[in-house]
Structure 1
Amino acid sequence: MTVIPTDGFVHEQRTLRVLFREGALDDLAAETDRLGLTRVMVIAGPRHAARVTELLGPRQVAVVRDARMHVPLEQAEAVRARCAEAGADGIVAVGGGSATGLAKAVALTLRIPIVAVPTTYAGSEMTRVWGLTENGVKRTGRDPVVAPRTVLYDPALFASLPAELAIPSAFNALAHAVEALYAPDRTPMTDVVAAEAAGRIVRGLSRPALDTQARTQLLYGAWLCGTSLDATTMSLHHKLCHVLGGSFGLAHAPTHTVVLPYALAHNEQAAPEAAAVVAGALDDAGAADGPGPGERLRRFAQSAGAPRSLRELGLAREDLGTAARLALSSPYANPAPLDEDSVRALLERAWTGIPAQPEGTL
Structure 2
Amino acid sequence: MSMIFEHTTLGQRVLFGTGQAAKKVAAELERLGSTRPMVIAAGPERPLAETATADITSALWWDDVVQHVPVEVADKARAAAQDHAVDALVCVGGGSTTGLAKAISLTTGLPIVAVPTTYAGSEATNVWGMTEDRTKTTGVDDRVLPVAVVYDAELSKTLPVGLSVASGLNGMAHCVDSLWAPRADPINQALALEGARALALALRGIVADPDDLGAREQALYGCYLAAVAFASAGSGLHHKICHVLGGTFDLPHAQTHATVLPYVLALNAPAVPELAGRLATALGHVPVGEAEDSALVMLHGLPTDESHTPAAVAVAALRELYAVVEAPARLSDYGFTAEGIPEAIERILKAAPTSNPVTVTEENITGLLTAALTGAVPSPAAATLIAR
TM-score in same-fold range (> 0.5): yes
Whether 1:249 aligns to 2:246 is no
In the aligned structure 2, how far is the partner of 1:139 from the partner of 1:104?
13
Contact 2:25 2:53 in 1 (8 A): no
Secondary structure, aligned partner of 1:18: strand
* Deviation of the 1:39 alpha carbon: 1.3
* Deviation of the 1:188 alpha carbon: 2.2
2:134 corresponds, among 130, 133, 136, to 136
Indicate the residue corresponding to 2:50 in structure 1.
50
* Deviation of the 1:96 alpha carbon: 0.3
Alignment of 1:188-267 (within 5 A): 188-207=186-205, 208-210=208-210, 211-267=212-268
2:35 corresponds, among 35, 38, 46, to 38
Contact 2:237 2:352 in 1 (8 A): no
* Deviation of the 1:66 alpha carbon: 2.9
Structure 1 residues 230 and 262: CA distance shift in structure 2, 3 A: same
Segments of structure 2 that go 5 or more residues without pairing to the other structure are 288-292, 303-311
Contact 1:349 1:355 in 2 (8 A): yes
2:359 corresponds, among 331, 337, 347, to 337
Q: How many residues get paired?
A: 356
* Deviation of the 1:296 alpha carbon: 3.6
Indicate the residue corresponding to 2:374 in structure 1.
352
In the aligned structure 1, how far is the partner of 2:106 from the partner of 2:184?
26
Contact 1:261 1:295 in 2 (8 A): no
In the aligned structure 2, how far is the partner of 1:359 from the partner of 1:96?
36
- Could you give the per-residue CA deviations for residues 281-329 of structure 1, whole angstroms, max 9, x where no partner exists? 2335899933422344234213311211111121111101111111112
Contact 1:241 1:255 in 2 (8 A): yes
1:308 corresponds, among 329, 335, 340, to 329
Contact 1:257 1:301 in 2 (8 A): no
Q: Return the letter of the residue paired with 1:200.
A: A
Contact 1:302 1:308 in 2 (8 A): no
Alignment of 1:1-362 (within 5 A): 6=2, 8-26=4-22, 27-45=24-42, 46-52=46-52, 54-57=54-57, 60-207=58-205, 208-210=208-210, 211-284=212-285, 289-290=296-297, 291=302, 292=312, 293-332=314-353, 333-358=355-380, 360=382
The range that moved more, 273-282 or 218-227, is: 273-282
Q: Return the letter of the residue paired with 1:224.
A: L
In the aligned structure 1, how far is the partner of 2:375 from the partner of 2:285?
26
In the aligned structure 1, how far is the partner of 2:63 from the partner of 2:331?
29
In the aligned structure 1, how far is the partner of 2:362 from the partner of 2:279?
27
Contact 1:265 1:295 in 2 (8 A): no
TM-score calculated relative to the size of structure 2: 0.87
In the aligned structure 1, how far is the partner of 2:162 from the partner of 2:328?
9
* Deviation of the 1:273 alpha carbon: 2.6
In the aligned structure 2, how far is the partner of 1:280 from the partner of 1:78?
47
* Deviation of the 1:15 alpha carbon: 1.6
Segments of structure 1 that go 5 or more residues without pairing to the other structure are none
The range that moved more, 24-33 or 254-263, is: 24-33
Identity of aligned residues (%): 41
- Could you give the per-residue CA deviations for residues 34-85 of structure 1, whole angstroms, max 9, x where no partner exists? 111121111013232433553211xx11111131100000100110111111
Q: Return the letter of the residue paired with 1:274.
A: L
The range that moved more, 108-117 or 320-329, is: 320-329
In the aligned structure 2, how far is the partner of 1:150 from the partner of 1:179?
25
* Deviation of the 1:128 alpha carbon: 0.4
Structure 1 residues 284 and 156: CA distance shift in structure 2, 3 A: farther
Contact 2:174 2:226 in 1 (8 A): yes
* Deviation of the 1:345 alpha carbon: 1.0
Indicate the residue corresponding to 2:305 in structure 1.
none
In the aligned structure 2, how far is the partner of 1:132 from the partner of 1:306?
27
